[in-house]
């Protein structure tokens, strides 16, 4: 696995968590599309109402990309990612409890806030905690995990809906996201790339 080419256990653990976060993030992003036909029938939503609920995500996602970058610069990537992860984990779980258009629109709006802020914070984390010669690999790994999550979301959600219910699919999938956030919060952050380079220079003398 490419991630094991990174030196330092803390750096590798950080990247594994970040890759896991991207995987779950993209499942959360597209799981509504997989569950939409069943949800639409159960909640009595028209095509217009369902389209409005879909669009809520993007209304908040775009501006919160800027907000997330600013927060990561101001308060640090780790704190920002923790808050973002909790936001999209809790709102995805809450999606399983919606009762109509208003509540569905609201949770999708908050989901867009959390996910929009995640990606710039994750990029800052990679730039801070990985050496410059490995950053392309690290970013590539996170992006690949995200697309894998998007690709596997439909069969995962379809299986859960078939055997349980669409509400259970939202509850169960993002219980994993909450666990990743807890591990990320409790784990020790790796030394910054600058400190890693400095330590290597000192060790070489």
Q: What DSSP assignment string belongs to 87-108?
A: HHHHHHHHHTT--SHHHHHHHH
Other residues' Cβ atoms within 10 Å of the Cβ of residue 198: 12
* Residues 2-24 pLDDT 10s: 544 455 555 677 888 888 888 88
What residues have CB less than 8 Å from 65, skipping those under 6 apart?
Answer: 116, 117, 119, 120
* Residues 120-171 pLDDT 10s: 999 898 888 888 888 888 888 888 988 898 888 889 888 989 999 999 988 8
State which fold the 9-204 domain adopts.
Answer: Growth Hormone; Chain: A; (1.20.1250)
Rounded to whole angstroms, how far apart are CA atoms 148 and 160? 18
Domain boundaries, the chain: 9-204
- Say what the pLDDT of residue 9 is: 54
Q: At what angle do helices 77-95 and 9-43 cross, to 10 degrees?
A: 30
Of the chain, the percentage scoring pLDDT greater than 90 comes to: 38
Contact 39, 45 (CB under 8 A): yes
Contact 110, 57 (CB under 8 A): no
pTM for this structure?
0.81
């Amino acid at each position: 696995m490419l991630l094991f080419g990174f030196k330092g256990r803390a750096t590798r653990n950080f990247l594994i968590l970040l890759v896991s976060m991207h995987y779950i993030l993209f499942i959360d992003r597209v799981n509504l599309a997989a569950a939409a036909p069943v949800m639409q029938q159960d909640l009595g939503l028209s095509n217009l109402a369902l389209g409005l609920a879909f669009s809520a995500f993007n209304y908040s996602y775009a501006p919160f990309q800027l907000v997330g970058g600013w927060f990561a610069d101001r308060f640090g990537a780790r704190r920002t990612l923790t808050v973002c992860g909790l936001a999209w984990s809790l709102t995805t779980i809450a999606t399983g409890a919606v009762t109509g258009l208003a509540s569905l629109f609201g949770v999708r709006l908050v989901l867009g806030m959390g996910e929009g802020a995640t990606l710039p914070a994750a990029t800052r984390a990679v730039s801070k905690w990985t050496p410059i010669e490995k950053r392309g690999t690290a970013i590539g790994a996170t992006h690949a995990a995200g697309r894998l999550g998007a690709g596997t979301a439909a069969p995962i959600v379809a299986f859960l809906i078939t055997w349980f219910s669409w509400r259970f699919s939202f509850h169960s999938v993002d219980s994993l996201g909450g666990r990743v956030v807890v591990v990320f919060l409790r784990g020790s952050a790796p030394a910054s790339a600058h400190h890693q380079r400095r330590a290597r220079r000192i060790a070489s003398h």
